[in-house]
């Protein structure tokens, strides 16, 4: 018998004797945690790349993306509270058990719980005081179809094992155990962390520019703490809301000519529980004079599509950019969003923007980045 296979069998045997499950393995590699991605099912998505970098930066080991989820391991000295630093995932769970659901005992959830490695509760105790815990079980999709009454059975088994009362519907539980069907195996996980709000625009009361596009536009500005960020045509505030979510230490200013749009922006920020300074003004009519100097500007201007402009589009953009550069600090940056389907490139070309900001050479062309949905 190959040595590797023999070691695996011995590990399983000792686990059975001790009543503790072996480390959860994916492709013969251990994983202690799982994480749900924010926006994409593809590991090479820009947001998921940031998630990988964040996980590795806090000490996560062997980070990999499988079946639309992140899995990663951690050493024995891993500080679980560092998971709070990871912003680019939706939730993090601690893995308790992976059991073969094809065997007869796969249907007996009580037996599965006895085999679980409940060291995950130590991870949870780092975030939730461990006195008077109440529990709840959750299952979706294939797991719910596989075990129609599985959540009730799991809650009853948890109560028998740990004495936890079962939380009433509609209230948050201290311990939530999730049932997943992972490649024909039963996967039990304890929820550790969940983002306070849906991120990347998924849950604003009033939605505007797509959340991925808005996040990408904000990221090009290389934002720093305490910088003042202006959206001179903020509308519902989608761009500023992305900045508030991912760069919470910035100071935000929104300007718009439409009072109804400003009210929607205000409601979005009330929902986010963040502050924004709003001004009713027309950016092309010296409307930025009261704003003062700013460090960064991001803007998704109208392109005569959903919102029309008065007069010629080229004249409008010239007035808009001149007003923006009038309040943008010398070392500030601008990120405008352009629409490929509405107009052609010249209206916001780097050459034209450079001329409008009064620079004759290309030495400071890095002050702005033009973003679009794709090649035009």
Question: Averaged in consecutive runs of 10 residues, what is the pLDDT profile of the chain (376 residues)?
Answer: 39 33 54 84 75 92 90 91 86 87 59 78 86 88 86 89 86 89 84 69 71 80 92 92 88 94 93 90 84 92 61 76 88 78 48 52 46 44
Cα distance between residue 202 and residue 38, in whole Å: 9
Are 241 and 268 in contact by the 8 Å Cβ rule? The answer is: yes
pLDDT, residue 14, reads: 31
d(CA 51, CA 17): 38
pLDDT of residue 177: 92
DSSP string, 303-331: -SSSS--SS-HHHHHHHHHHHHHHHEEEE
Q: Which of the 8 DSSP states describes residue 67?
A: T
pLDDT, position 59:
94
Q: Where are the beta strands (DSSP E) in 218-368?
A: 228-231, 251-256, 277-280, 294-299, 328-336
pLDDT at 76: 84
Which pLDDT score, from 0 to 100, does residue 6 have?
36
> What count of other Cβ atoms lies within 10 Å of the Cβ of residue 144?
15
CA 231 to chain centroid: 22
- 74-133 residue pLDDT tens: 988 999 999 988 878 889 999 988 877 665 544 566 777 777 788 888 889 888 887 789
Q: What are the pLDDT digits (tens) for 240-274?
A: 998 988 888 899 999 999 999 999 999 989 888 88
Separation of alpha carbons 121 and 96, rounded Å: 9
How far apart (Å, rounded) are the C-alpha atoms in residues 252 and 226? 10
177 bridge partner residues: 137, 190
**DSSP state, residue 189:** E
The pLDDT score that the predictor gives to residue 149 is 87
According to DSSP, the β-strands at 135-139 and 175-182 are parallel
Strand pairing class (228-231; 294-299): parallel
Beta strand segments in the chain, E: 25-26, 29-30, 33-37, 61-66, 69-73, 89-100, 135-139, 175-182, 185-194, 228-231, 251-256, 277-280, 294-299, 328-336
Tokens of 305: 């599509």
Taking the complete model, does pTM exceed 0.75, yes or no? no
Please give the pLDDT value at position 374: 44
List 7's β-bridge partners, or say none.
none
pLDDT reported for residue 17: 32
Instruction: List domains and CATH numbers for the chain.
Output: 3-194 (3.30.2130.30), 211-367 (3.40.50.150)
For residue 290, what pLDDT is reported? 84
Residue-level pLDDT at 305 = 55
């Amino acid at each position: 018998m190959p040595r590797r296979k023999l070691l695996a069998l011995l590990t399983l045997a000792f686990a059975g004797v001790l009543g503790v499950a072996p480390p959860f393995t994916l492709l013969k590699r251990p994983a202690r945690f799982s994480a749900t991605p924010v926006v994409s099912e593809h590991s090479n998505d820009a947001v998921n790349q940031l998630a990988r970098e964040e996980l590795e930066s806090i000490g996560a080991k062997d980070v990999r993306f499988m079946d639309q989820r992140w899995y990663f391991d951690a050493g024995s000295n891993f500080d679980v509270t560092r998971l709070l630093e990871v912003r680019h995932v939706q939730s993090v769970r601690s893995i308790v058990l992976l059991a073969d659901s094809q065997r007869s005992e796969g249907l007996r959830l009580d037996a599965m719980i006895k085999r679980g490695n409940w060291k995950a509760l130590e991870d949870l105790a780092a975030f939730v005081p461990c006195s008077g815990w109440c529990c709840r079980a959750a299952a979706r999709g294939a797991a719910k179809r596989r075990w129609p009454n599985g959540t009730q059975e799991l809650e009853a088994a948890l109560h028998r094992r740990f004495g936890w009362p079962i939380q009433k519907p509609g209230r948050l539980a201290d311990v939530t155990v999730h049932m997943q069907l992972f490649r024909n195996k039963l996967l039990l996980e304890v929820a550790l962390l969940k983002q306070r709000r849906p991120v990347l625009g998924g849950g604003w009361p009033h939605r505007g520019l797509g959340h991925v596009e808005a996040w990408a536009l904000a990221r090009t500005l290389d934002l720093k703490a305490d910088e003042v960020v202006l959206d001179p045509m903020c509308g519902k505030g989608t761009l500023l809301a992305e900045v508030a979510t991912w760069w919470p230490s910035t100071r935000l200013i929104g300007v718009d000519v439409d009072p109804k749009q400003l009210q929607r922006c205000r409601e979005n920020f009330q929902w986010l529980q963040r502050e924004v300074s709003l001004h009713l003004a027309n950016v092309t009519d010296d409307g930025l004079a009261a704003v003062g100097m700013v460090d960064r500007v991001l803007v998704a201007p109208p392109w005569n599509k959903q919102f029309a402009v008065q007069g010629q589009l080229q004249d409008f953009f010239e007035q808009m950019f001149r007003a923006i550069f009038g309040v943008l600090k010398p070392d500030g940056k601008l990120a405008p969003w352009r629409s490929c389907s509405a107009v052609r490139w010249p209206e916001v070309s780097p050459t034209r923007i450079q001329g409008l900001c009064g620079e004759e050479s290309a030495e400071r062309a890095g002050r702005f980045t033009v973003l679009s949905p794709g090649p035009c």
